[in-house]
Structure formats: C-alpha cells, structure tokens
C-alpha cells in the first residue's frame, strides 16, 4: 500500500466511523482509544458527528523520524494532504452545526522496516481479543486466546495519530450575496440620505451618488471581512509561537539527541485530546494533575491551529518539564448549540531525563520496568504481574496540568 492509498483509505475509514461507529482498521489501538473517548463524549450530549475529507492535492511526506534510528526495526513518518474537510453535528435528524473548509490533514504512520526482522520480536495487541503477544507468534501460531492468525499486511502500516490544522476564518460569502446586500444597502442609504438632503439644497445626482458609494464601501468591506478575520486569527497564532520550534528543539535535544519536533508536536496534541475527552481524567495513567475545568466537559471537537507557544522549559529533580500554550479552535456544545471558540490551552508535560522517549510507545501495551511483563496501562496503573506502579514518564511524556 503506497502513501496515497494509505492516506485516502484512512480518511475514508474515519468518515465511515463517524457514520456507523466502526473503528478504522488502519488506526492503531491508541488512536482507537481516542476515537472511543470522543464517541462517548458525543453520545453523552446526544450528538452525532459526521466527518468527511476530500483531498485536493497529492500526499506529501513531512518527516521520517526513524531514519538513522529505526528503533526496534520500526519507521515512523508523517504524511499530509490539503483538502476539503466537512464536519456536521446532528441531534436526531436535525443538523445543528456545519463546518466546511480547506485544511491540511496530517497522519502519523508506523511501519516496520522489512529489511530488519527485529520488529517481529515486538509485541502487538490482538485486535480481536486484546491479548498481547509477539508479532512472530501471531504470524506463526496465531493468538493463543482467540486463535486468530495474522499476516504482516494486516498488522501494519498503522496510523498512530492524526489531526487537521484549522488556521483561518471559516466564513465565506458568495459574490451573489454581496451584490444582494449591496443593493439593500444602496436602498437604505437613499432612505437615510433622503432625510438629510431634504434640508439641503443639493442636486438629486449627489443624493444618488451618496447612496451608490455607501453601497460599494459596505459591499467591499463585507466581501473582504473573512480575509481580515483570517489575518487576525493568523496573527494570534504567529505572535504567540515565534521561535517556539527552535527553542523546544534546542532545549530538549540536550536530554535526547534523537529528539524530533514533529513527533513531540503530535504527542502533545494526542495527550491533550485524550485527557480532555476522558470520562475521568484523574484515572488516565498519563495524567497526574488536578481536576480539569468543568468547561472541558462541553468540548465535543478539537481542532489544532498549527502552532505551540513555549511558556517554560525547566528541570525538576530527574524530570524535564515543558509548559506549552497550544492554540486550538474547540467546538463546545451548550444550550443545544455547537459553537466554535479560539482557546489558548496550557499543558505542562514532563519526562524522565535518564531515559529516552520511545517513539514506538503504546499506552495499551507497556512493559513493566520491574518484571518486564506487558499489559494495558489504560486498565491498570500497577503492573498486574508484580503489582509495582508503572512510571509512564520513563518511556513517554506525562501531563501534570491542563488549563485555559
């Protein structure tokens, strides 16, 4: 499966998921867990969300952050394409919200290096029963619990994260509508001007010219208002994120020379969405903070604006802590209405500096640092084999705080 086929197939599966609830086969278990959380949030509000993406450009490769590393025989890359994204919200059969605009859509992909057999010794979660077993055993003997056999093409590639970047105005006004509003403005200007000109000794042609110019200026302002709005939106993000990528990369490469900004960006966004959509964030193993704001319970959709701001990077004991300002456009459901709002979301994350972040980390199949046993950390905070607490900060990032 080439990158274009993979990209289009996954977006189609996402669309099908929004309509039928069928999980995308190309999504890994972490991504499926996120989709499940969002689906539960929507259902709790009595909402149905329909998603569609129609790519209008070819698929581009942004980064390949396993080149030179190929950790455990794996390759991770980021692909994207620009296209028309359409999202609709329904209560029953009544549509209460709609968004359609052109955006870049990103997919983070994990795939084994076929020239390296090390990946066959890695563990994988059986998509049928959840059993964790080595890939080689799945292929040769099948799952010991449900008996399912797999071939490599069924296991990989997998999409480990996805997001679109909402960086501008959504409002579009058709030329016909501008003309119609211009005509109405002209008539109103004549009526308003008539009151004034009755008391003035001016020719009727000046009176007409006044109304005509008023209508033109009004229509031009209306036509370009989305452009002005988009400039304001972009300046908010640009101003708040100047130098962030360079600062983050420079600081964190001191702790890990293999640090990749693209991976870090996707990871921070993934954790932010997972925790906000969690039914009980305090039970989520990668969140070690206080109760979230009750406002977060009204969020039903989260769109990334494409940039971070850096508030602070510091070392605390054996951990490096990074506080980010994430520019988001969130959809809130209140009073039976869906409303988008620009949010600056602050997230504080930490990682143990004695260990490298593992790009192949999966929260549903972690390895205990005490006994080596594999288990699903979304269901167990302590290892079910030796009962020791599992420290996510050794293998990945943990979140200490999220607030607006």
Each residue's pLDDT tens digit, 44-58: 999 999 999 999 999
CATH number at residue 136: 3.10.450
Domain boundary among 140, 164, 188: 164
End-of-domain residue from the set 164, 185, 201: 164
Structurally, how many domains does the chain consist of?
Answer: 3
Name the band, by pLDDT with cuts 50, 70 and 90, for residue 171: very low
At 4 the pLDDT is 87
- Do residues 30 and 127 both lie within one domain? yes
Q: Last residue of a domain, which of 110, 144, 164?
A: 164
Interval 113-162: pLDDT, tens:
655 556 666 777 776 676 777 777 877 787 887 776 666 556 678 888 89
3-state secondary structure 143-169: CCCCCCCCCHHHHCCEEEEEEEECCCC
- Are 55 and 30 contained in the same domain? yes
Do residues 189 and 263 both lie within one domain?
A: no
On whether residue 25 sits in a domain, the answer given is yes
249 in a structural domain = no
pLDDT digits (tens, 9 = 90+) for 217-249: 655 554 444 444 454 555 556 666 678 889 999
- Asked, for residue 247, whether it belongs to a domain, the answer is no
Q: What residue numbers bound the domain in which 53 lies?
A: 3-164
204 and 63 share one domain: no
Query: Rounded to two decimals, what is the model's pTM?
Result: 0.75
Identify which of 357, 258, 268, 255 has the alpha carbon closest to the alpha carbon of residue 309: 268
Q: Are residues 137 and 218 in the same domain?
A: no
CA distances from 264 to 267, 327, 357 (A): 5, 15, 10
Provide CB contacts within 8 A for 112, sequence distance 6+: 73, 74, 75, 119, 120, 152, 156
In this structure, the answer to whether residues 215 and 309 fall within a common structural domain is no
119 and 194 both lie in a single domain: no
Distances (CA, A) of 10 to 14, 164, 174, 253, 285: 6, 14, 32, 32, 28
> Does one domain contain both 119 and 191?
no
Both 313 and 192 in one domain: the answer is no
Strand 366-367 relative to strand 374-375, pairing: antiparallel
Cα–Cα nearest to 343, from 302, 292, 298: 302
Asked if pLDDT for residue 69 goes beyond 50, the answer is no
pLDDT at site 224:
46
Summary mean pLDDT of the chain: 79
Give domain status of residue 31, yes or no: yes
The pLDDT score that the predictor gives to residue 301 is 95
Assess whether pLDDT exceeds 60 at residue 177: no
Mean pLDDT on 251-265: 85
Query: Going by C-beta distance under 8 Å and a sequence separation of 6 or more, which residues neighbour residue 187?
Result: 211
Q: What is the pLDDT of residue 12?
A: 96
Instruction: Judge whether 250 lies within some domain.
Output: no
Can you tell me the distance from the alpha carbon of 395 to that of 281, in angstroms, rounded to the nearest whole number?
A: 20
Q: Is residue 32 part of a domain?
A: yes
Q: Does residue 150 share a domain with residue 39?
A: yes
Beta pairing partners, 344: 327
Instruction: Tell whether 270 and 310 lie within a shared domain.
Output: yes
pLDDT of residue 393: 87
């Amino acid at each position: 499966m080439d990158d274009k086929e993979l990209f289009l197939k996954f977006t189609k599966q996402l669309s099908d998921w929004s309509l039928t609830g069928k999980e995308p086969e190309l999504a890994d278990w972490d991504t499926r867990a996120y989709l499940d959380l969002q689906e539960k949030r929507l259902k709790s509000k009595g909402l149905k969300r329909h998603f569609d993406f129609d790519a209008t450009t070819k698929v581009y490769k942004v980064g390949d952050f396993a080149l030179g590393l190929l950790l455990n025989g794996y390759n991770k890359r980021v692909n994207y394409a620009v296209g028309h994204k359409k999202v609709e919200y329904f209560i029953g059969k009544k549509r209460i919200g709609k968004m359609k605009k052109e955006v870049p859509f990103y997919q983070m992909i994990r795939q084994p290096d076929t020239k390296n057999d090390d990946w066959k010794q890695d563990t994988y979660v059986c998509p049928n029963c959840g059993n964790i077993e080595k890939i080689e055993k799945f292929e040769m003997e099948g799952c010991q619990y449900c008996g399912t056999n797999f071939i490599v093409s069924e296991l990989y590639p997998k999409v480990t994260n996805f997001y679109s970047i909402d960086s501008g105005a959504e409002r579009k006004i058709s030329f016909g509508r501008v003309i119609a509003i211009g005509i109405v403005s002209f008539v109103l200007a004549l009526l308003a001007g008539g009151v004034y000109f009755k008391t003035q000794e001016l020719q009727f042609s000046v009176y007409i010219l006044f109304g005509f110019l008023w209508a033109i200026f009004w229509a031009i302002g209306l036509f370009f208002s989305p452009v002005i709005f988009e400039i304001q939106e972009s300046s908010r993000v640009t101003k708040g994120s100047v130098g962030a990528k360079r600062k983050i990369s420079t600081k964190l490469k001191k702790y890990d020379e293999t640090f990749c900004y693209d991976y870090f960006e996707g990871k921070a966004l993934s954790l932010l969405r997972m925790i906000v959509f969690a039914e009980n964030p305090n039970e989520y193993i990668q969140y070690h903070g206080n109760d979230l704001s009750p406002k977060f319970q009204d969020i039903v959709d989260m769109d990334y604006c494409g940039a971070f701001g850096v508030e602070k990077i510091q070392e605390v004991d054996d951990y490096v802590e990074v506080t980010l300002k994430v520019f988001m456009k969130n959809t809130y459901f209140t009073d039976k209405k869906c409303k988008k709002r620009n949010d600056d979301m602050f997230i504080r994350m930490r990682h143990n500096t004695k260990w490298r972040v593992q790009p192949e980390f999966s929260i549903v199949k972690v390895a205990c640092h005490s006994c080596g046993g594999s288990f699903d950390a979304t269901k167990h905070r302590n290892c079910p084999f030796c009962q020791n607490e599992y420290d996510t900060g050794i293998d990945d990032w943990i979140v200490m705080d999220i607030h607006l």
